[in-house]
Chain A
Amino acid sequence: MNAAQFVLDVLSLGGAYALMALGLVIVYGILRLVNFAYGELIMVGGYTMFLVSGSGLPWLVMAGCGLTMAIVAGIATDYLAFRPVREKSVTAVLITSFAFSTLLQNAALLFISPRPRAVPLPELFSRTVEFAGVITPARNLITIAVAVIMLGLFSWLMRSTALGIAMRAAATNFRMARMMGIPANLIISAAFAISGLLAGTVAILWIGRIGTVVPGIGLEPLLIAFIATVIGGMRSLSGAVVGGFLLALIDTTLNYTLPQDLLKFRDAFTFSLVILILLWRPEGIVRGPASGQRT
């Protein structure tokens, strides 16, 4: 193992993790909703690409279809699972998002298949390249590049557009933001749509590693996003990115150093860390805006 290899691994894994975490935290920040159906948005993106794979369209168009459907599924989460119970308790919202996740997963089982389905990938994804003296799969470099572009785009959106500023205002104090004339439903739908866009991007990058999609594919990204957001700070968007890269650093370090029979307990360690952080430093590494309750 050499240093360049290690750095490259951390950056490519961290890029994917950061996008996953960001998609979860954009909804949580505004609504205090832990969207359990987030992993299923990734699944929807993957299955869409499988469904259009026979069409002979160029790959970029197919990827675009995947992204679009993930966004649609994100907005559908808002309308079907979230809006009907928004005025009720936090618990009700969490349960509906969990139910919606089960619904999407079983729809995939019922209407497609429980077996893995191959997703079209461009030949570039499986090629290896030499970069900075290291031989690495090209998809790792693609992941890093896409993560940089998406994070740049995202930060521009949140800082410089009216929508982004309105969303940040809603995340700080939802009720106050509404009083200032920010349309609540639009902001919430936008948050879900962005969450879907990030999930779709993750779907392409994540499935690029495996090559197939199964109904349960969303669970691992969801768990990763969970840990990353808790480490980085549930209330802060930059915290999610920091958390994603930090988690990638922890995971990669453990992978390189931990003996095999302890490595399988890695999830137990990282989730114990989640519990400890929520107990002793619930705001995570990056403190978000001061508290404000959901409507």
Chain B
Amino acid sequence: MMATRNWWTFLLLGGVIVLVALLAELVGDRLLVRITTNLCISMVLVIGLQIFMGNSGILSFAHVGFMGVGAYTSAVLTIPLQMKGMALPNLYPILADVQVSPYVGIALGGLAAAFVAALVVYPLMRLSDAAAVITSFALFVVLHTIMYHWSDVTNGPRTLFGIPSGTTLPLAAAVAIVAVLVALLFKESRVGRLLRASRDDEIAAASLGAHIPRLRWQAFVVSALLAGIGGALWGHFITSFSPKQLWLKETFVILAMLVIGGPRTVTGAVVGVLVVTASFESLRALEGAINRAQVLSEPLVGMTELTLAVAMIAVLALRPGGICPSREVGYYLFRGRARDP
């Protein structure tokens, strides 16, 4: 069970998400609602990555791959029957007659990603440091290649269309809040604590009996579950996508959010998403304004990513733990209360 200060962390972070979502709904601007929905989806993905990376200390590149597994699973299961013939003409007969609601699809998308992760990654968890990173990158390339070329199920490199819209702001915000809870519960669980011990000193943790590969595997499966759910939410939000939208650029953005916020804390993940989304969207608006004004002969592209890359290097050089390096937000609150007479 979690200590009081962790419940405070949950309440505060959940409160921030509710507040942001309410604010967007109240203003009612369509663009703002879309941006906020996207923010909540990113939060699910980044918190998913935090569960593995923050607790195990290992960088994983495969996260967006599992996001893709979730997105495609849910898409294939939810595309309306009359659309399916057009969108995926060569789909296997067993899948061709299936149609579930987006909510069921999102849940199944998460489960599918967790299932694939559970099957595939156990042997990878023996590796640490650079070898672990290269294997996760290789796994990402394998997943991407499959998504890119398995035309019968994913429509290959072409855009898969006809996915029913199902992700609303309240749904995305609710899932994000659940993700915060899952991440905090995992962090304070026996598995989470042992895993963090192994992150800080692998040899010492192993000598105390921590079965490191299994601990990492458990974290990875939970992380993939959230990645799959996040991916499915994203699929039902934008309703048509291609494997090109699930590649290195997306990996970079998600990683940047986590690194800038602070990978070791759930608070860091939430703060990172908020900060990066805010700056990203304002830069994008600026980029759009410059392009509309046609000051330059060619449209401006890449400014947002460029800035994000510089910010990421600066954070790692100057404040390597990110904005929230080691303590959850509830700690400060709790500490303040304890000191009160």
A interface list, Cβ under 8 A from B: 28, 32-34, 80-81, 84-85, 88-92, 94-96, 98-100, 102-103, 105-110, 113-114, 215, 219, 223, 226, 230, 234, 264-265, 267-268, 271-272, 274-275, 278-279, 282
How far apart are B11's CB and chain A's nearest CB, in angstroms?
31
- Is B316 a contact of A103 with CB atoms below 8 Å? no
B306 to A99, Cβ gap below 8 A? no
Q: With an 8 A cutoff between CB atoms, is B333 at the interface? A: no
In the complex, B300 has a CB within 8 A of chain A: yes
**Residues of chain B having any CB pair with chain A under 8 Å:** 57-59, 123-124, 126-127, 129-131, 133-135, 137-139, 141-142, 145-146, 149, 248-249, 252, 255-256, 259, 298, 300-303, 305-306, 308-310, 312-313, 316-317, 320
Judging by beta carbons under 8 Å apart, are B134 and A103 in contact? no
Find chain B residues with CB under 8 A from A103 CB.
Answer: 306, 309-310, 313
In the complex, what distance in Å separates the CA atom of A28 from the CA atom of B131?
Answer: 11
Contact B313 A96 (CB under 8 A): yes
Q: Is the CB of B130 within 8 A of A95?
A: no
Q: A102-B248, A275-B139, A278-B134 are in contact. List 9 more A-B contacts (CB 8 A).
A: A85-B316, A85-B320, A89-B320, A91-B58, A96-B317, A107-B306, A267-B142, A274-B135, A274-B138
Whole-angstrom CA separation of A33 from B127 in the bound complex = 16
A226-B138, A268-B142 known; A32-B130 Cβ under 8 A = yes
A80 contact set on B, CB distance < 8 A: 313
Contacts of A32 in B (CB 8 A): 129-130
- Once the chains bind, are B317 and A85 in contact (CB under 8 Å)? yes
- Other-chain contact of B138, A91, A100, A109, A275 (Cβ < 8 Å): A275
CB–CB A226/B57 < 8 A:
no
Contacts of A99 in B (CB 8 A): 252, 256, 309, 312-313, 316
Once bound together, how far apart are the Cα atoms of A182 and B255, in whole Å?
36
Contacts A99-B256, A99-B312 given; indicate if A271 touches B145 (C-beta within 8 A): yes
Show 9 A/B contacts (Cβ-Cβ < 8 Å), sorted by A: A32-B130, A95-B59, A96-B312, A102-B249, A109-B302, A234-B131, A268-B141, A279-B123, A279-B127
A278→B131 contact, CB < 8 A:
yes
Contact A106 B302 (CB under 8 A): yes
- A91–B133 CA distance with the chains assembled, in angstroms: 8
Which residue in chain B gives the minimum CB-CB distance to A28? Answer: B130
Residues of chain A with a CB closer than 8 A to B248's CB? 102, 219
Closest 9 CB pairs of A and B: A109-B302, A84-B317, A106-B302, A103-B309, A268-B145, A106-B306, A110-B302, A271-B138, A99-B312
Interface pair A113/B252, CB less than 8 Å apart: no
**A95 pairs with B255, CB closer than 8 A:** yes
Name which residue of chain A comes closest to B139, CB basis.
Answer: A275
- Give the distance to chain A from B36, nearest Cβ to Cβ, in Å: 25
Q: How far is the CA of A80 from the CA of B124 in the complex (A)?
A: 31
Separation in Å of the B125 CB from the closest CB of chain A? Answer: 10
Question: Given contacts A100-B313, A271-B142, is CB(A90)–CB(B135) below 8 Å?
Answer: no
In the bound complex, what is the Cα–Cα distance between A103 and B304 (angstroms)? 10
User: Which one of B58, B59, B255 has the highest number of Cβ atoms from chain A below 10 Å of its Cβ?
Assistant: B59
- The residue of chain B having its C-beta at the shortest distance from the C-beta of A115 within the complex is B298
Q: Are B130 and A88 in contact (CB under 8 A)?
A: no
Q: Whose C-beta in chain A lies nearest to the C-beta of B129? A: A90
- Within the assembled complex, what's the spacing in Å between the Cα atoms of A34 and B256? 18
Q: Kindly list chain B residues whose C-beta atoms are within 8 Å of the C-beta of A282.
A: 127, 131
Chain A proximity of B102: nearest CB distance (Å): 29
A84 CA to B298 CA, complexed, in Å: 35
Report B-chain residues with C-beta under 8 Å of the C-beta of A106.
Answer: 302-303, 305-306, 309
Q: Whose C-beta in chain B lies nearest to the C-beta of A81?
A: B313
Residues of A within 8 A of B145 (CB): 265, 267-268, 271
Provide the bound-state CA to CA distance between A214 and B256, in Å. 24
In chain B, what residue has the closest Cβ to A216? B248
A102 to B316, CA, bound (A): 15
How many Å from the CB of A295 to the closest CB on chain B?
14
Say yes or no: A95 contacts B141, CB within 8 Å: no
Contact of B134 among A34, A84, A264 (CB under 8 A): A34
Q: How far is the CA of A33 from the CA of B123 in the complex (A)?
A: 23
Measured between beta carbons, the chain A residues less than 8 angstroms from B126 are 279
Task: Please state if A98 and B316 are interface contacts (CB–CB under 8 Å).
Answer: no
A96, B316: Cβ atoms closer than 8 Å = yes
* Interfacial chain B residues near A223, Cβ < 8 Å: 141
**Complex alpha-carbon distance, A215 and B306, angstroms:** 13
In the assembled complex, the Cα of A100 lies from the Cα of B145 at a distance in Å of: 24
Closest approach, in angstroms, between the C-beta of A196 and any C-beta of chain B?
19
Tell me the minimal C-beta distance from A294 to chain B in angstroms: 10
Tell me the nearest residue of chain A to B300, going by C-beta: A110
- For A219, the chain B residues whose CB sits under 8 A away are 248
User: Cα distance A280–B306 when bound, in Å?
Assistant: 39
Contacts of A81 in B (CB 8 A): 313
Residues of B with C-beta under 8 A to A98 = 252, 255
Indicate if the CB atoms of B137 and A88 lie closer than 8 Å: no
Q: Complex: how many Å from CA A160 to CA B264?
A: 47
Residues of A within 8 A of B133 (CB): 34, 91, 94
Closest CB in chain A relative to B150 CB, distance in Å: 8
B138: chain A residues at CB < 8 Å are 226, 271-272, 274-275, 278
Indicate if the CB atoms of B320 and A109 lie closer than 8 Å. Answer: no
B142-A110 in contact (CB<8A): no
Contact A91 B59 (CB under 8 A): yes
Q: Which residue of B lies closest to A88 (CB)?
A: B320
Q: What residue of chain B has the Cβ atom nearest to residue A34's Cβ?
A: B130
Cα separation A219 to B252 with both chains bound (whole Å): 14
- Cα of A275 to Cα of B303 in the assembled complex, Å: 35
**Chain B residues within 8 Å of A34, by CB:** 130, 133-134
